[in-house]
Structure formats: C-alpha cells, structure tokens
Chains A and B, each alone.
Chain A
Amino acid sequence: MSTTAPEAVAGARKNLAGLLVVPATLFVAIGLIGPLAILFRYSLNKFVPGQFMVDGLVIENYVKFFTDTYYLNVLVRTVRVAVICTLACLIMGFPLAYVLARTQSRFKNLLVIAVVLPLFVGNAVRAAGWMTAFGSKGALNASLMAMGLIDQPLEIMFTENAVLIGIVAVNLPFMVLSLQSVIEGIPRQVEEAAFSLGAAPGAMFRRVLWPLALPGVLAGTILTFILAMNAYATPVLLGGPKFQMMGPLVYGQFAQQNNWPFGGAISFILMTATILLTAVAHLIVQGRYRNR
C-alpha cells in the first residue's frame, strides 16, 4: 500500500494537469481550428453570382488570386508594409527597450507604463483621431494654412506613409516589451567585460548584445510582423478606400461581395504567407548565429 501511494498521487497529478489544459484547448479548438477548417472547405467551393456558394472541390479561387495582378499587388503591398513596419519598430524599439531595461531610475515602472499606455487607446479610436488631426481639413493643415505657411493642404492621410506610421505606432509597444524583457536578463557585466576586453561600442553590440538579445528580437519581430500583416482598422481608416491590404480585402469579400469562397481563399493565402515568412526569417537568423 505504502509503495503504491505515491504513484496514485502522481497519477492524480497527471489527471489534474490534463484537466487544467482542457478549457483553453477546447476554446482554441472550437474558436479557431473549427472555423478555420470550415473556412478552408469553403475556399474550395465555387462562387456563382446570385447563387451565393455552390458546393465543389476546385482551386479556382486560389488561381483567381494568383493570376490577377490586382490581388497580387495587395499581397505584395501588405508584405512590404509589414516588413517596413517591423524593421522600423526594431530600429526605434531597440534603443528604447535597452534604456528601459538598464535604467536605475525610480520611475522605471512609470516608464514601462508609458510604453504600454498607447495600447489603452484602440486602433480605431486612434486612427479616427489622426483623421481629425492630419486630414486635409484637419487641425494640422488648417493651422498651417491659416498661418500662411502652405496654400495646399499637406497630403498625409490616405497614403501608404500614413498607414506605415499608424501601424508602427500601434506595434511599437509590443516590440519594446519583447526586447526589454530579454535585455533585462542580460547581465550588465557581460557588456562591461566586452568593453574591458577592447571592444568598441559597435563591436560590443554586434558580438555580445545583439546575439544575446536575439530571442527578444525574434519574439518582437514575429509579433509585430503578424500584427502588421493582419492589420485591419489602420489601413482602412488611414489608407482610405484606394489603399488595399489583405485584412480589409478578406472582410470586403465576406461582407460586401458575399463571396465566401474567395474570401476564404484570401484568408488562407494571408495566413500561409505570414507563417512562411515568419518561419523563413526565423531560420535565417537562427542559422546565422548558430554557426558562430
């Protein structure tokens, strides 16, 4: 009896562990995998105008996407915006994250909160605010024109730049927090050791700080890249109707065109592109730093 008791406890533990993961697993299964499976099935259906959706097993929706330059352009634009935004977040976020991680200030917690603060404002609210501020009749143009500094309103809204700025503003906190948590785990003495061994600041960064911060860089870039690839509110509100990205395109097919098969296909192309690009970038970075 006494020898079997611990095993019974261990077994109970295992059961408990199983129980604990059930809610989240069920939620993900019902809320994500189920709909995705249905969506994938739909993407192989036919769309006949007027008849909504006709059961079938065809790849014409995917063919349509990859043979129409309009849609390909949307995909390329989306990837370009996501890459630029991710790089911009990394370049601006790294120094900020470094200072946050290394500061001895009493106000460190406040600084971290200040980084997170923009997230308290939803994308849509923020974009709406920008519309009123930077639109052709917005506060900025109105004051500049009233002062006589310009006679034509500056075209800020409804350009790719507006979307880039908008997405960077939304994603920067994610990048900074990912980097900061990793940099905080890198002992300051390691940097000092590099300096005392004769490394210039640039060499120290390249050979010590960057490789050690790489897990944070990967986490941050993956997070911001995925968010940028799937951005919806920002491109719609700041990019305007002519600036199409993948997220709004999916929504348009479902809600406006009622073309569920094609919408499903676009969804899967977006998802696959995101996963593929993330995985490729991950492998390249890991490979480069493993052989050193």
Chain B
Amino acid sequence: MSFASHPDDAIRLADVRKQFGDTAALAGVSLKAKPGSFVVLLGPSGCGKSTLLRVLAGLEQATSGTIELSGRDVSRLPPAQRGISMVFQSYALFPHLSVAENIVFGLKARGVPAADRAARLKDAAALVGLGHLLERRPSQLSGGQQQRVALARAIVAQAPICLMDEPLSNLDAKLRNEMRREIRALQQRLKLTMVYVTHDQAEAMSMADQVVLMRDGHVEQDASPAELYARPATRFAATFIGTPPMSLVRLTAGEGGAVLEGAPGHVLAPAQAAGQWLGVRPEEIVLSDAEGLPAGIAGAEFLGGETVLSCVIGTGTQVLQVRVPGLCALPVGTPVRLRLPQTLHLFDDATGRRIEDFPSNLASPFSSKDNATCR
C-alpha cells in the first residue's frame, strides 16, 4: 500500500505515533479513508483506537507523524480548526444548557448568524427526531435521547468528517441496534466521512465500509468487512472477528502432509505447513455421520437460533468450534465427524501472519456434499 498524498482522501495518516511516558499508545499508524466512507477503528481495550481518535480530533497531540484531513495538514492545529465534529462515549452534553443550546453551541462559537443557526437547528433536530424536546435539559432526557442530542450537535456543524468514540456503548441492546442503523443511514444521507471507534466486532462488521483493526498501538489489518472476514491477515484478526471467532488449531507433521494431533489419517495441508496454525470458521464446518475429521463433543452452547459445539479433535486436546443451526443437544462425549470447508486459513506460527499461497483444495475430501446430521 502506498501512502502518497491524494487530494481525494478525506483522511490520511502517515506513521502517527503517540507516546505516554514510556508506553507507546500509537506505534506508527498509517491509514487512508475515502470521502463519504464509514471507517471503524476496531480493537480490544487498550489497543490505541480511542487514542487514535483523540489524536485525529486534536484533543491529543501526536508525538510524531502527519495527519491530513480533506487534503490539509492539521497535525499541529487545535481541535476547533480541524474541520471535524465529534461524538463522545459519555455524550459530553452541556448540562447547564437546553437541548437547543447544546446543538447550536458550536455554531455560536463559530459566529454563525442567528437566522442561519435557527434553520440549521431545526434541520438537525428533525433529522434525529428531537424537534419536540428542544427546551429540555439533558438531565431530563433518556439515554437514547441524549445520544440523539450528541448526534445532532455533531451533524449541525456540517463538518465533512465526524468522529465517534463508542457512542452506543451506554445504550441497551435493542436501542443500540436501532441507533446503529440510524447512524449509518445518517452518515450515508449526509455523505459524511465517519471514523467510528468500537470494541464490538458485530457493530464494526455491520456498519463499516472500512475496518481498521488495531492491536497494541498498530494497525493489524485495514480492510473491508468482507475482506476482514474472508481473509484475516493475522491470527489476531482471525480470532477477533466472528461469533464465535475462527477456531485455530496447530498442525503437526503426519504421513502424507500436515495433520492435526489425534487425527493422523486426515491430511489437511502440505507437509511444510506442519507447525503452523490452521484456522476454520465455526459456521463453515458441517457435522457428518460418516465422513470427516473424527471428534468428540466437549460442550454445547445453545444461543436460540443456533448452537455452538466445542469438539475435541480425535484423541487429541485441540478444540474446533462448530456452529450448527437450531438446537443441537448432543451430550458431552458423543463422537461426531466434522467436514471442513474448502476455505481454510493458514497462519505462520512465528509471525502470526496469514500464509497466502496455501493450496486449500487439499482439504476438499471433507466437503463433498452437505449432510447436516443434528437432530
């Protein structure tokens, strides 16, 4: 990937570093985003995603590196001059101001004329469905309504780039799903470039055009949700995405190629893959009566629409998770056969990186025909 400057990139970060004392919160982050795209910064807590957002916003100064927003170097500019709006996790509404005053705060601060202010307030309030609550104080609103005020306050600025720091984490699950769709619709309607921080991979996958998966202050993978799911670049990416995430098992040398410990008869990869890691999506494994990898049920987790089975491979100790539709109440110890999909993933043991030139057809003997056997 090249990081040459393109005037049509809405966001361009080059080797951005942020040091807090001895610890590097950002260890050289580079990324680009197209105007109007929905970028999700995803990662576990402490991975640097929030710090990256704050550096983008100008609330933290990067230790080094350049930040270009809409083709303009803003690395040393204060937040007010960066052409961004921001939604905080805690909403950060002004408790002493009414909803209307909260929304127009930024317009006042930027000296927008009163008539213009009123019109934009009306539009923004209507857009998020707050028209009837404008005279209330934030403390008189529900969590969802407060969230809408924070949204309205951000979009009324009409800044081309909007930053959101886990904006839905304080809402209950139902409202969260609703707001997810609303935010996405709003972003597309207003053609905003959105940078959205979350630790929730489902949120990331459902909303993003581009997912930037972060870990320990660096970018682990920067790709579309489909790419991230289909071709995880590292072992970490593989185990971070999916419900349940990809199962990883270690390959050992066997007769005729690499096999799994405890199932010597089933060659899964060429011999040189021994010692590397094999990744399989639980939803791509099929239970079979007759053929496939021998395994035993070690546990079952019923989730309503589906069941996640933990299966111990052969006589070994490694576990593959299998997602099967509906209720599948197999008792622990039940012997089963697992038909693996053609799309297997191989990861290097030392570097954790994906091994690209892996002839996946070696796994084909196990996926001749679909035959779900769960009763």
Contacts and interface: CB of A to CB of B under 8 A. Distances in A.
A212 B93 CA distance: 12
Contacts of B110: 198
Interface string B106-136: 1001100000000000000000000000000
A228 to B, nearest CB: 29
B80 A196 contact: yes
Interface residues on A, range: 10 to 19
B95 interface: yes
B279 to A, nearest CB: 39
Contacts of A289: 96
A193 B86 contact: yes
B97 A292 contact: yes
Given A189-B90, A200-B80, A207-B105, A195 B59 contact: yes
Contacts of A208: 94
B113 to A, nearest CB: 15
A198 B92 CA distance: 15
Given A192-B59, A292-B97, A197 B85 contact: yes
B146 to A, nearest CB: 13
A195 B84 CA distance: 11
Given A189-B90, A207-B105, A196 B57 contact: yes
A196 B86 contact: yes
A289 B94 CA distance: 14
A58 interface: no
B105 A195 contact: no
Contacts of B58: 195-196
A197 B109 contact: yes
Interface residues on B, range: 20 to 34
B345 interface: no
A196 B59 contact: yes
B278 interface: no
Contacts of A190: 92-95
A47 B126 CA distance: 75
A203 interface: yes
Contacts of B101: 292
Given A192-B59, A194-B105, A199 B96 contact: no
B149 to A, nearest CB: 11
A118 interface: no
A199 B94 contact: no
B96 A197 contact: no
Indicate the member of A187, A195, A197, A212 with the most B CB atoms within 10 Å.
A197
B79 A196 contact: yes
B78 A189 contact: no
Given A196-B57, A203-B109, A207-B105, A187 B90 contact: yes
Given A195-B58, A197-B80, A197-B109, 11 more contacts: A189-B88, A189-B89, A190-B94, A190-B95, A192-B57, A192-B88, A195-B59, A196-B58, A196-B59, A196-B79, A207-B109
19 contacts: A187-B92, A189-B89, A190-B93, A190-B94, A194-B105, A194-B109, A195-B58, A195-B78, A196-B84, A196-B163, A197-B153, A197-B157, A198-B157, A199-B80, A199-B106, A200-B109, A203-B109, A212-B96, A292-B96
Interface of B: 57-59, 78-80, 84-86, 88-90, 92-97, 101, 105-106, 109-110, 153, 157, 163
